[in-house]
Amino acid sequence: MNRRITVSALAAAVVLAACGSEPPPPNYGTDPELGEYERGLLPSMVIANPAEWGDRMPVVPEGYEVSAIATDLLIPRQTLVLPNGDILVAEGRGGNAPRLKPKDVVAGPIKAAGTTSVTSGNRLTLLRDADGDGTYELQTVFADNLNAPYGLAMIDNRIYVANQDALVRFEYNEGQTQASGPPVTVTELPSEINHHWTKAMTASADGRYLYVGIGSNSNITERGMTAEQDRAVIWQIDPLTGMHREYASGLRNPTALTIQPGSGQLWAVVNERDELGPNLVPDYLTAVQEGGFYGWPYSYWGQNPDPRVMPQDEEKVASAITPDYALGSHTATLGVDFSVPAMGPEFSDGVFVGMHGSWNRSVPVGYKVVFVPFRNGRPYGDPIDFVTGFRDDDNTYGRPVGVTVDPRGALIVADDLANIIWRVTPTQPFDVPQAEGAGDAAAAIGPGATGGDAAEPRATDAAEPANGEAREASAGSAGTSD
């Protein structure tokens, strides 16, 4: 590490940062104050110098502790907790979109300076803590020769992986440390150009469907609308047949997906468009309505028309759904997962959100994991910093990507700059009452699924059997930054 931005790129960044004032970031929350619309030749661009953690550690709230459970990975993005507590890590980097604008030429070196220099792993790594002491003594390759894997999910005895070009599956037997054979392709995924190349994924609570997020092929249709076919959408896929349909649209880059416990509602975090100024447009967290349209490219944050889109479509703008919760502009949110009571009363009802961090602001934002509280099943109140310390005024030590809640009482955070998996746990376990007959909490909940009550099965006990038999699902999430 300790790589610095080249002199020419740094000079460009300084000039760009001086091009205009940056008011404070817009409010988080359900009714944010949107920033002023600003346009110029290029946006402000600042990424701090990557540096080694050394003796430093991420900062977590009082009553919690953090440890590095895996190091020397090859670009870890997303994780999946398996039924026996093992953790799968998807590692890799993809995309090959050609540069279109001056911004792309200048931004490239600046963005690259804030990322890891290691080679893409294109693999899944398995971590195991055999004695449950918090030390994952086994770190081994579960499967390799994949194509930029991101999204992870488990249904019955099959592990599903969303590569940048295809959804594939592996047969799995509990305790396996290596895939028993090559992956089987379930269905191809849109991958031409791949401006936004990662494919976020989660499984429905009953295991009948997989949901895959497919980002746009541009910031704001610079490649034309033909390049946006099957883009900025979420697909619903039958894992048995590969049949799929568009579930929702107008989501510029849905970077992580998760299922709300109890309701079975699909939620997503979305990276919004650039080049409307440092305080537009907020990335967001939202429940995803079947058949819903969320604005891209015609409008943002509901029905605010994007002045760059010509011709406009007033009917599409009028139909755009306002997201549930703003996360701030350019935070590059890449991870989301619902919490469980074992994480403690203050952090039991809501979602953890991983923010990779901005590159196109003179005042950086993100670079942390926050907790968004819920009340009555919806986001409520301000986000709470949960894991911070990933950067200071001079250096960037890490960048959070995927976040996964282990129902036993841990938050798993993938750091794709330091190539570390962090694990955050309460210093003292919280007593979580179980419903009568619930049995072992870990077995009932199904580790790796997204969110839930410890006494309530998560992604298990299918309400409607699929093809004649109920299927158990565990789900992961995925995403990318711009």
CATH of the domain at 205: 2.120.10.30
Specify if 480 maps to a domain.
Answer: no
Specify if 481 maps to a domain.
Answer: no
pLDDT tens-place string over residues 185-231: 999 999 999 999 999 999 999 999 999 999 999 999 999 999 999 99
Higher-confidence position of 76 and 14: 76
Higher-confidence position of 115 and 427: 427
Query: From CA 122, how far away is CA 150, in angstroms rounded?
Result: 9
pLDDT of residue 24: 52
Average pLDDT, the chain: 85
Specify if 450 maps to a domain.
Answer: yes
Specify if 313 maps to a domain.
Answer: yes
pLDDT tens-place string over residues 132-172: 999 999 999 999 999 999 999 999 999 999 999 999 999 99
Higher-confidence position of 96 and 241: 241
- Residue whose structure tokens are 């190539």: 419
pLDDT of residue 290: 98
Query: From CA 374, how far away is CA 411, in angstroms rounded?
Result: 18
- Residue 105 pLDDT grade (very low, low, confident, very high; cuts 50, 70, 90): low
Specify if 28 maps to a domain.
Answer: no
| Contacts (Cβ under 8 Å, ≥6 apart) of 301 | 32, 34, 281, 282, 284, 295, 322, 323, 326
| Contacts (Cβ under 8 Å, ≥6 apart) of 74 | 91, 92, 118, 119, 120, 121, 122, 123, 419
Query: From CA 457, how far away is CA 453, in angstroms rounded?
Result: 7
Domain count, the chain: 1
Specify if 482 maps to a domain.
Answer: no
Exposed, middle or buried, 375 (CB in 10 Å: 0-12/13-18/19+)?
A: exposed
pLDDT tens-place string over residues 296-334: 999 999 999 999 999 999 999 999 999 999 999 999 999
Higher-confidence position of 66 and 96: 66
What are the backbone angles phi and psi of residue 145, rounded to the nearest 5°? 60, 35
Query: From CA 397, how far away is CA 353, in angstroms rounded?
Result: 18
**What mean pLDDT comes out for the span 386-401?**
96
Specify if 426 maps to a domain.
Answer: yes
pLDDT tens-place string over residues 408-459: 999 999 999 999 999 999 999 998 766 444 433 333 333 333 333 333 333 3
Both tokens of residue 200?
Answer: 């976020």
Specify if 29 maps to a domain.
Answer: no
Where in the sequence is the domain holding 237, given as residue range(s)? 7-23+34-475
Prior bond to 281 cis, omega within 30? yes
Higher-confidence position of 448 and 399: 399
Query: From CA 397, how far away is CA 419, in angstroms rounded?
Result: 10
Asked if residue 88 lies in contact with residue 404, where contact means CB atoms within 8 angstroms, the answer is no
